[in-house]
Amino acid sequence: MKGNQTNDTFKSEKGIHTDFKEKMTYGDYLQLDTLLDSQKRLSNHHDEMLFIVIHQVSELWLKLIIHETQAAIAAIQKGELQASFKMLSRVSRTQAQIIQAWDVLSTLTPAEYMEFRDQLGNASGFQSYQYRLVEFVLGYKTPFILKIYEKDPKVHTIMEKAYHAPGLYDVSIQALSRAGFDINPEVLNRDFSETYEKDDSVEAAWLAVYQDVDNNWELYQLAEKLVDIEDWFQQWRFRHMKTVERIIGHKTGTGGSSGVGYLKKVLDHYFFPELWSIRTKL
């Protein structure tokens, strides 16, 4: 009965295309043959498929985060703050998706992971160039990271360009300056390859924005978009740390890091420090 209902439903849709011998299909457009053929297990263990898929999906979401953040940076530099808000909102929504991925990976038990962990060799999420690129576009620059990508000149060039370019917070501070706030010249003219350090003039400017929202509405909106992104990023880091602890405990990571110990350390880092410190002063 249900089969007949389904057939009747399709028959009533006279416009549905069924002949694709000379036309592009959904699978063609998304290159699904390539995408779905990219899960190459190195072991025969059932759960390695989960491990590969979760990390590949996360890399796709990271690609979108980078795409939107770089576009937002360009928009802010041109003074188009409203345009940047849509992009930054999309980044936050994407971050929520990546966080939920840890819930799926946490179904992998320690015993199951140990069945194929040795197959990874020294490969590790620590080496994800897109994750590092997200850190770079947000303003967190770590020079030793570049060495990891010397093996691939194309990736190394991408990373080096982002390493020397202003991050999202740098262009936001420049927007404060253009709006007439007194920003320390050393901050405005700093070497963008260095990780940003908290500055009193930037804190004073953001504090003034929050104390007079009506006259600084766009900058206030920008600030809250940045807080959203950092909040979600910290939640992602926390879920990452707890998932790793749940699966491998305090073992050294496959890439040589201290594993959980390293992940706990980065929880203390802030991309946009003044936007958090002013909350105590308001």
Cβ atoms of 112 and 253 closer than 8 Å: no
Is residue 240 marked as binding?
Answer: yes
AA letter at 70: Q
Distance in angstroms (rounded) separating the CA atoms of residues 278 and 282:
6
Structure-token match 């202003």, residue found:
166
Is residue 51 marked as binding?
Answer: yes
Is residue 52 marked as binding?
Answer: yes
In this structure, how many other beta carbons lie within 10 angstroms of the beta carbon of residue 170?
Answer: 20
Task: Give the single-character DSSP code of 140.
Answer: -
AA letter at 109: T
Is residue 104 marked as binding?
Answer: no
Is residue 54 marked as binding?
Answer: yes
Is residue 190 marked as binding?
Answer: no
Is residue 45 marked as binding?
Answer: no
Cβ atoms of 111 and 37 closer than 8 Å: no
CA 48 remoteness from chain centre: 24
Distance in angstroms (rounded) separating the CA atoms of residues 183 and 133:
27
Q: Burial, 38: exposed, middle or buried (Cβ in 10 Å; 0-12, 13-18, 19+)? A: exposed
- The token pair at 219 is 């900058």
Residues making up the binding site: 51-55, 113, 117, 240, 254
Residues making up the binding site for substrate: 51-55, 113, 117, 254
Residues making up the binding site for heme: 240
